[in-house]
Chain A
């Protein structure tokens, strides 16, 4: 009781950060370009999953719409980092000041986060009054809406065409920093009074409301914070491959990031991060098997497409035996003698 929630839970972001650093160091040590790109991809998914967790984990409302914020962020990267001459050709409808803007990628990520947060605030002000399945469907509608607008607004988003010319950042470190930043943000939100109030509302809405928790407002705060994280991730995603299209940020990415969160455990930040690391490693492992592995003198290779099937099967198995995900509701902490058992009583995240 004597320790503040900050000190009590500090081990979680530190441990998660160290795991991420370890992944980055492996990429650096191996020195192979495709492997490096794989690790970058994993860090991006970590950002997305943490962004999802901030809202879904704390509020208990499943959101199918968060990838829309990644889309908003991705297009901010396109609007602000492509050379003005190229923008003039692909997106002639941009306002003049934006047409002339050319900022570095990290600034684009920050602006992307801000832009996504603004829209999260606008959408959230309406959507956060809903709860349960109605809220989930409404977030899905938001995704469809953003996708439709970006797929058709020819002069500003180049519609369904790929927007090219976004400077590609192939170094793993900026993505590592962003992923750690997302984890720290998620953790800080989780232990804040707003995070605590929202989890209280998730578990006992009536009691929480009776204790003075303004549920829509608490949800809105989580929605905006998570929107910002998704926006940052979307901008960096654009910088990782150099192009954006609206269909990159649609159902495919929505469901893979949600599955990672569910498999890891929706209830904990560690679950979000470890779910990504576990499923991404699994996908990569299966892809190697698809490419073929030398066993003795013969080559063993899975037929193409098995990766997707095996991934589904493994996810079903995990959820059969651990319905609350790999981490359940627990956080990753250091085992400490004499400390209150983490995760058993009260929120530890």
Chain B
């Protein structure tokens, strides 16, 4: 009820702008409650709420209960700016914005200009942070480039893949990011070679031309780095396998989840990096416990690994606030930037004054074998991807 009142007061503007009130700690969610981004924002936000509840149940943050205010961005950029301003007016100490950089940035820019910390729920572009918003902005997920680099290095080391084929879906920045990371890693792997590369578009009904080029190679490549995402990924994978190409397929985290596997029956030799396992076989039993908690709270299992960054976000932010002893922006940012290998449920997290994102992270490797996904390994790239390479 109180939450609704706050939201109402904020949006109807019956009140003067709330001054920073030291008696409350408020997290403002300027995220999509309607529109297509809701499918991405809601699960991560649910996970964030679970962490907030855990903290509140354990006595709160700095002895205060964390309060939450919401505003709907309606998956619209102009509304996003309003939503950001509206949670700020409602007294937010930290502003959580939409998963995607394009849709989250208007609210994040509003937070930045009000001198507040902002967190992207699960954006994986370098721009979601210092580079595209400002010095007080962070992302709770891991850079897409790290996913591509992880898969390349892991396949090279553990699967002895030497010949790689790069197939890029140019639809989104995220896809390009995966392949950028792959491109950065490949030259560092001795005697690994790129035997060919190609592009397609997510909406392409057929990638027959691209497949023909793979088939006409003198021999099948050891691995295909497939930089794509839903919904086009399913059709691309199906066509590659239907053409009789049995190379291992490496992907980004965007194709995690078992919801689509029935479309490609008995898929094998298929690898995805994930921050935590939704399949109940995470090496960390606490992740499985979290999955159960998530099911209690929302009525369903996590459908992809993109649930987890929301939990990490509140976790690292609350730790920084606890250490700083205040929610004041510069103190919290300073504490966040001190985090180096900070343990979380989903791997260690590092922030520096140069990058508010993960350019190196532990990933679990999920293999789908005969249509059944499961964790087979974990991998951390041998060195972080330099910021200069991420910015090109």
Contacts and interface: CB of A to CB of B under 8 A. Distances in A.
Interface of A: 30-38, 41, 89, 160-162, 164, 168, 170, 237, 240-243, 245, 248, 252, 287-288, 290-294, 299, 301, 304-305
Interface residues of B, number: 40
A292 B5 CA distance: 8
Contacts of A243: 77, 102, 105-106, 109
Residue of A32, A34, A38, A241 most packed against chain B (CB within 10 A):
A34
Interface string B72-84: 1000111011110
B209 to A, nearest CB: 20
B34 A294 contact: no
Contact of B4 (A36, A252, A292): A292
A34 B105 CA distance: 16
A12 B305 CA distance: 58
A245 B76 CA distance: 12
List of 8 A-B pairs having minimum Cβ-Cβ separation, nearest first: A32-B13, A34-B86, A33-B85, A35-B13, A34-B85, A241-B81, A304-B34, A292-B4
B10 interface: yes
A34 B13 contact: yes
Given A288-B8, A293-B8, A305-B34, A164 B132 contact: yes
Interface string B44-82: 000000000000000000000000000110001110111
Nearest to A299: B4
B89 A34 contact: yes
A36 B15 CA distance: 13
A304 B85 contact: no
A237 to B, nearest CB: 8
B28 to A, nearest CB: 11
Contacts of A290: 72
B199 interface: no
B88 interface: yes
Contact of B82 (A31, A38, A294): A38
B216 interface: no
User: Which of B7, B8, B82, B133 has the most C-beta atoms of chain A within 10 angstroms of its own C-beta?
Assistant: B82
B105 A162 contact: yes
Contacts of B89: 32-34
A164 B112 CA distance: 13
A37 B81 contact: yes
Given A31-B16, A32-B17, A294-B8, A242 B86 contact: no
Interface of B: 1, 4-5, 7-8, 10-13, 15-17, 33-34, 71-72, 76-78, 80-83, 85-86, 88-89, 101-102, 105-106, 109-110, 113, 127, 132-133, 172-173, 391
Given A38-B82, A162-B101, A33 B17 contact: yes
A242 B85 contact: no
B86 A33 contact: yes
Contact of B10 (A31, A34, A37, A240): A34
Contact of A241 (B10, B16, B78, B86): B78
A31 B17 contact: yes
A305 B76 CA distance: 13
Nearest to B392: A89
A245 B78 contact: no
A290 B185 CA distance: 48
- Residue in A30, A37, A41 whose Cβ sees the most chain B Cβ within 10 Å: A37
Contacts of B127: 161-162, 164
B31 to A, nearest CB: 12
A84 to B, nearest CB: 16
A288 B8 CA distance: 7
B118 to A, nearest CB: 13
A136 B323 CA distance: 62
B4 A30 contact: no
Contacts of A245: 77, 102
A170 B78 CA distance: 13
Contact of B33 (A33, A35, A162, A304): A304
Contacts of B88: 33
Given A168-B113, A248-B77, A299-B1, A291 B85 contact: no
A250 to B, nearest CB: 12
Nearest to B4: A292
Contacts of B33: 304
Contacts of A164: 105, 109, 127, 132-133
A8 B268 CA distance: 79
B78 A291 contact: no
Contacts of B110: 33
A84 B102 CA distance: 21
Contacts of B173: 160-161
Given A34-B85, A288-B11, 14 more contacts: A32-B16, A33-B110, A34-B89, A164-B127, A164-B132, A170-B113, A241-B77, A241-B78, A241-B106, A242-B105, A243-B77, A291-B4, A294-B5, A304-B34
A241 B97 CA distance: 15
A305 B102 CA distance: 21
Contacts of B78: 41, 237, 240-241, 248
Contacts of A30: 13
A290 B83 CA distance: 14
B208 to A, nearest CB: 23
A240 B78 CA distance: 8
A291 B11 contact: yes
Contacts of B10: 32, 34
Contacts of B16: 31-32
Nearest to B80: A241
B333 to A, nearest CB: 19
20 contacts: A30-B13, A33-B17, A33-B86, A34-B10, A37-B81, A160-B172, A161-B102, A162-B101, A164-B127, A168-B113, A170-B113, A241-B77, A241-B109, A242-B105, A242-B109, A243-B106, A287-B11, A288-B11, A299-B1, A299-B4
A134 B119 CA distance: 48
Given A162-B101, A299-B4, A37 B109 contact: no
A288 B16 CA distance: 17
Contacts of A248: 77-78
Contact of B72 (A33, A89, A304): A304
A164 B129 CA distance: 12
Contacts of A33: 17, 85-86, 88-89, 110
B184 to A, nearest CB: 17
